[in-house]
Structure 1
């Protein structure tokens, strides 16, 4: 058996485990990818070899790198090394490098004046205060948050946040597509 054969033989079990881990059905996955239930079932059982076209569709549906589906060995340094960038008056440091959603950032938010109008946009946001004091305006709510506190909200709700003191506030932020939330999942007990 060649290395390629071994890699291809491992694709089916990885696909099935990923689908089960995500709690989705073959039918739901078929609707999302346009791949027939029969083909998906045969891929998972190893009765059909995966093609690049099928794997690309599945990687996009699961929002995972293609390497995860084929079981590619880790390559080099796993640390995310990205350049900080300015977003308005905030400093954003990307913490994720995979395409898709959600995206993770560390934000340094300075003291800033209240805008005349609160922002709205598509998306869902989760934030966690690492240090400093955060003032979050969300709709009619005015919330002060300290280290260790988290908030999540639909960004279609008018919102604004900034430091509640004269010092910057440091946050971890997850920003996802409209309607998606970050979920923590624990393994089921047996």
Structure 2
């Protein structure tokens, strides 16, 4: 099963398990109903931004639709490409680890995730501007940063592409 089909199947399962109609999930996520229908049927490749909008509306971590696929899932957006490396579930949280590339030029603005979500980055190469939209910080090679991800936040590579590890911790 390819990425689009696997992700589409999981999205449909999550939506129906919550008793949500296609229209309701489209409204809550601000993703078009036609786009959502194509995603669920596996006819459309998901973008990072779209998957975050949908999983946030479903109140699940992004890795819920990406883990246990036949191969590591690579999801791209306008500015960020992410590969899920690890998902760890504990009684009170889900922790995801991604290998990310932030492309120079565009800025990715992410909507607030569920309450209590935090993000941590370790920059391998380049310099990243990351964190809350109101207080982004610069993190250079070998450096690390943390921010609350339950507020709108951003990722940007002001000079050249950034390679990094991103750890996202969701509390339940």
TM bucket normalised to smaller: 0.3 to 0.5
TM-score if structure 2 supplies the norm length? 0.48
Higher relative contact order (CA 8 A, sep 6+): 2
Structure of larger gyration radius: 1
